[in-house]
Amino acid sequence: MHILITGGAGFLGRKLASALLVRGSLAGADGRPRRIEKITLADIAEAAGVPDPRVSSLAGDLADAALLDRAFAGSVDGVFHLAAVVSGEAESNFDLGWRVNADATRALLERCRARRTTPRVAFASSVAVFGGALPDRVPDDQVVTPQSSYGAQKAVCELLVHDYARKGFVDGRSLRLPTVTVRPGKPNKAASSFASGIIREPLAGVEAACPVDASTRMWLVSPRTVVDSLIAGYEAPASALPPSHAVNVPGISVTVGEMVDALRRVAGDAVAGRVVFRHDETIDRIVRTWPRDFDAKVGRALGMRTDASFEAIVRQYVEHDMPKRA
């Protein structure tokens, strides 16, 4: 089978590709495993770091029809749609956010529809589809109420995935990801970027500014665990999905203060002391709209798991993703 991963040059896309290569197969609509013969990584830049003859890379704008033409030139059996303009940038650049996050998703679904083979599509949605007055623990059937452009774009795409699935054009499912941390590399324009930065930068000997209060509670997941959840969500039979075809991916509910405490237990007081609280109203306003905890019963029933603790997430980063000093 041929798997297309949009956003494939990113950290998460490359981790997903590597996990799929190790597995070697994915369950199809009939529940039986099918051998993965080809993975295409499509992104704004060429993908690197996945050296395997089964992997090819396409660079270009996902909102550009030419890139989609190339991506769907041969048979495509399944799609992991990860590509997106991140939350902070989607909020500050309205037109770009809607073009990439919504228009390009519709164009991708249209390519799937044109194949007339009902390819399976796992869309990476976000907990940002929720906002406003929410219960302390969000149930699986909570009505979406986005309070940001990014959340609105993800909510619109969830409806698109559902409708294309209802019509039989795709075998679609939307997977609402928690904030993924700890991501290696440099900070990006996501409002949640600090959730990685306050761990990653202090461990690298650099001061990290935290734009929200220590009491701010977040819904988090590690890179390794979210990759497993993406695969579990992809393999889930359509009959096991809720009517919305949208699933809240399990995570852990942790305050920023607890995150810093976990860093202290792993790396000591000096490292944790590099986290400096410096309020940013724009980021804080976005983060405050996000839910803090979920039931995620459907996700767990589909085989998705959670991390043991935030300390375990920090140790995972140190052992597997943190650059090694010479």
Which residues have a catalytic role annotated?
Answer: 150
Nearest to 90 by CA among 249, 221, 279, 286: 286
Residue 286: helix, strand or coil by DSSP?
Answer: helix
64 is a domain residue: yes
Model's pTM, two decimal places? 0.95
**Rounded Cα–Cα distance for residues 21 and 16 (Å):** 9
Are 13 and 223 a contacting pair, CB within 8 Å?
A: no
Structure tokens at 106: 């519709």
Question: Which domain CATH number covers 58?
Answer: 3.40.50.720
27 is a domain residue: yes
Structure tokens at 211: 């734009």
260 is a domain residue: no
272 is a domain residue: no
65 is a domain residue: yes
Structure tokens at 207: 């001061």
Angle among Cα 92, 41, 25 to the nearest 5 degrees reads 130
268 is a domain residue: no
252-255 and 55-59 strand pairing: unpaired
What is the number of residues in the chain? 326
**3: enclosing H helix or E strand:** strand 2-6
What does the pLDDT read at residue 326? 58
- Encode the chain (326 residues) as per-residue pLDDT tens digits: 999 999 999 999 999 999 999 999 999 888 899 999 999 999 999 988 888 999 999 999 998 999 999 999 888 999 999 999 998 899 999 999 999 999 999 999 999 999 999 999 999 999 999 998 899 999 999 999 999 999 999 999 999 999 999 999 999 999 999 999 999 988 888 889 999 999 999 999 999 999 999 999 999 999 999 999 999 999 999 999 999 999 999 999 999 999 999 999 999 999 999 999 999 998 998 888 889 999 999 999 999 999 999 999 999 999 999 987 75
Structure tokens at 14: 């490359």
* 175, amino acid identity: L
Are 294 and 219 a contacting pair, CB within 8 Å?
A: yes
Domain count, the chain: 1
What does the pLDDT read at residue 141? 96
Are 260 and 316 a contacting pair, CB within 8 Å?
A: no
Structure tokens at 184: 């290696």
189 is a domain residue: no
* 55, amino acid identity: V
Strands (E), 158-315: 171-177, 179-180, 208-210, 217-221, 246-248, 252-255, 275-277
Residues in a beta bridge with 25: 35
164 is a domain residue: yes
What does the pLDDT read at residue 44? 93
Residue range(s) defining the domain that contains residue 116: 2-178+222-248
